[in-house]
Copies of this chain bind each other. A is one copy, B any other.
């Protein structure tokens, strides 16, 4: 299926009106940014860039879609013809996926004719708003977990395709496994999972369920021990799998207290190498509160895939410059009442101190040609924009499994570079102030 109809009707009606009055070919620059972060977030994490690029490759109006648009009279014949031949031929630059961002950070810049660039608005925002919301939550979780692995298990609490994207976004922010099979197949992620309570309940007793699982998965498997009574479950698990049992999973009750008891019991049974994994409505705060307890890994579901209080990112796609009658790119911006934005193309850099620690987000503006070609001339500025699409051709480094791997590396490095306070979970100021640099 193509991705072109995953868009708002007004993109198409605007194209029709612009084709009619001759403005459709005006060169335009659109910028993606967010006006604010949730009050409890010190930084955002950009995710979805690779998916935007993959979707751009499939952004074609297929014959049956055109037929439907014509039948519904969404647009006229001339516009249908334009859509039938649509290929994005412009430029996309932006923050590398996995990079941290702040209010006003120009995380993506799309340049092309009005008609070709405006059509991408909804799809670009859908992907970036969803994936960045999940990655921003995920980063706080992996941060709170310190060196204990986090595993993504939220598919059932998200739309079935959003679940795949959520697993991918979690991987960008440091999760090391997902329960979602399609995410494993599509993006080369490690998949995890052994059994649910239903498997125990299917059997006549817990022993036969454990025995069946160990028979096929081996003693290194993870046994779910809280279907009936945790202490008896642990005892049976070790009896059946042996002291080489891989792990036990706790999915209910007071996880910290139970983990202490289960650890003691496992050790007393000689299963000193058996790990304890916990699941059950975890979020970053619950993970942080479990830091002092003998837990070996965290399985996170609902709160991860719903962005832990912020299920979308509030990113917008704004026209910031367009070709005027002179043929030059001119800055434009909405003026009325609220929701104003700053006109003109922007790029950005992260300012670092002598230790390589980030001290500011520098948004660079000024005359279009200067901004478009700007590179820092001093070592204290790390440029943030990378080319993503050049003359319509997607840069493959950012797509597929390789793109997810690169994004995860970028995120680790970017988060590491932030001031220490960035990892605080409490409500407070964003980790970096945004400054502006105006070229002239």
- Take A14-B199, A114-B202, A212-B20 as given contacts and tell me if A7 and B181 are in contact as well, using a CB distance cutoff of 8 Å: yes
Q: Which of B10, B204, B217 contacts A179 (CB 8 A)?
A: B10
Identity of the chain B residue whose Cβ is nearest the Cβ of A131 in the assembled complex: B159
Interface contact A14-B338, CB-CB below 8 Å: no
Measured between beta carbons, the chain B residues less than 8 angstroms from A55 are 160
Interface contact B337-A195, CB-CB below 8 Å: no
- Take A162-B161, A325-B204 as given contacts and tell me if A13 and B337 are in contact as well, using a CB distance cutoff of 8 Å: no
Interface contact B155-A126, CB-CB below 8 Å: yes
Q: Among the listed stretches A116-124, A268-276, A396-404, A412-420, which one makes contact with chain B, having 4 or more residues with CB under 8 Å of it?
A: A116-124
Query: For the complex, is A136 an interface residue (Cβ under 8 Å from B)?
Result: no
- Take A23-B203, A130-B159 as given contacts and tell me if A230 and B194 are in contact as well, using a CB distance cutoff of 8 Å: no
Q: Which of B158, B314, B319 contacts A198 (CB 8 A)?
A: B319
Measured between beta carbons, the chain B residues less than 8 angstroms from A23 are 202-203, 212
Measured between beta carbons, the chain B residues less than 8 angstroms from A305 are 312
Q: Which of A10, A318, A319 is most buried by chain B, counting CB atoms within 10 A of its CB?
A: A10
Query: For window 205-232 of chain A, which residues contact chain B by CB distance below 8 Å?
Result: 208, 211-213, 215-217, 226-230
How does the 8 Å CB contact mask read for A167-208 relative to B, with 1 for contact and 0 for none?
Answer: 000000000000111101100000111111111011110001
Query: For the complex, is A12 an interface residue (Cβ under 8 Å from B)?
Result: yes
Measured between beta carbons, the chain B residues less than 8 angstroms from A226 are 334, 336-337
Measured between beta carbons, the chain B residues less than 8 angstroms from A121 are 156, 196, 198
Query: For window 268-315 of chain A, which residues contact chain B by CB distance below 8 Å?
Result: 280, 302, 305-307, 311-312, 314
Query: For window 141-170 of chain A, which residues contact chain B by CB distance below 8 Å?
Result: 153, 155-165
Q: Among the listed stretches A68-76, A235-243, A352-360, which one makes contact with chain B, having 4 or more residues with CB under 8 Å of it?
A: A68-76
Interface contact B199-A155, CB-CB below 8 Å: no
Interface contact B335-A18, CB-CB below 8 Å: no
Query: For the complex, is A65 an interface residue (Cβ under 8 Å from B)?
Result: yes
Query: For the complex, is A436 an interface residue (Cβ under 8 Å from B)?
Result: no
Query: For the complex, is A26 an interface residue (Cβ under 8 Å from B)?
Result: yes
Identity of the chain B residue whose Cβ is nearest the Cβ of A126 in the assembled complex: B160
Q: How far is the CB of A297 from chain B (nearest CB, A)?
A: 15
Identity of the chain B residue whose Cβ is nearest the Cβ of A341 in the assembled complex: B197
Interface contact A65-B17, CB-CB below 8 Å: no
- Take A6-B182, A336-B252 as given contacts and tell me if A191 and B72 are in contact as well, using a CB distance cutoff of 8 Å: yes
Interface contact A227-B196, CB-CB below 8 Å: no
A317→B317 CA distance, assembly (Å)? 39
Query: For window 65-86 of chain A, which residues contact chain B by CB distance below 8 Å?
Result: 65, 68-69, 72, 74, 76
Measured between beta carbons, the chain B residues less than 8 angstroms from A16 are 216
Query: For the complex, is A440 an interface residue (Cβ under 8 Å from B)?
Result: no
Identity of the chain B residue whose Cβ is nearest the Cβ of A229 in the assembled complex: B336
Query: For the complex, is A333 an interface residue (Cβ under 8 Å from B)?
Result: yes
Measured between beta carbons, the chain B residues less than 8 angstroms from A123 are 160
Q: Which of B164, B311, B336 contacts A228 (CB 8 A)?
A: B336
Q: Which of B12, B65, B161, B212 contacts A161 (CB 8 A)?
A: B161
Interface contact B335-A227, CB-CB below 8 Å: yes
Interface contact A193-B10, CB-CB below 8 Å: yes
Interface contact B199-A17, CB-CB below 8 Å: yes
Interface contact B306-A216, CB-CB below 8 Å: no
A184→B68 CA distance, assembly (Å)? 9
10 contacts between A and B (CB under 8 A): A7-B155, A8-B180, A9-B181, A17-B212, A17-B213, A65-B185, A76-B216, A122-B160, A126-B156, A306-B312
* Residues of A in contact with B (beta carbons under 8 Å apart): 3, 5-14, 16-18, 20-21, 23, 26, 28, 30, 55, 65, 68-69, 72, 74, 76, 114, 118, 121-123, 125-127, 129-131, 153, 155-165, 179-182, 184-185, 191-199, 201-204, 208, 211-213, 215-217, 226-230, 233, 251-253, 258, 280, 302, 305-307, 311-312, 314, 317-319, 322, 324-325, 332-339
Closest 8 CB pairs of A and B: A10-B193, A253-B337, A159-B162, A9-B193, A125-B156, A161-B161, A21-B212, A126-B160
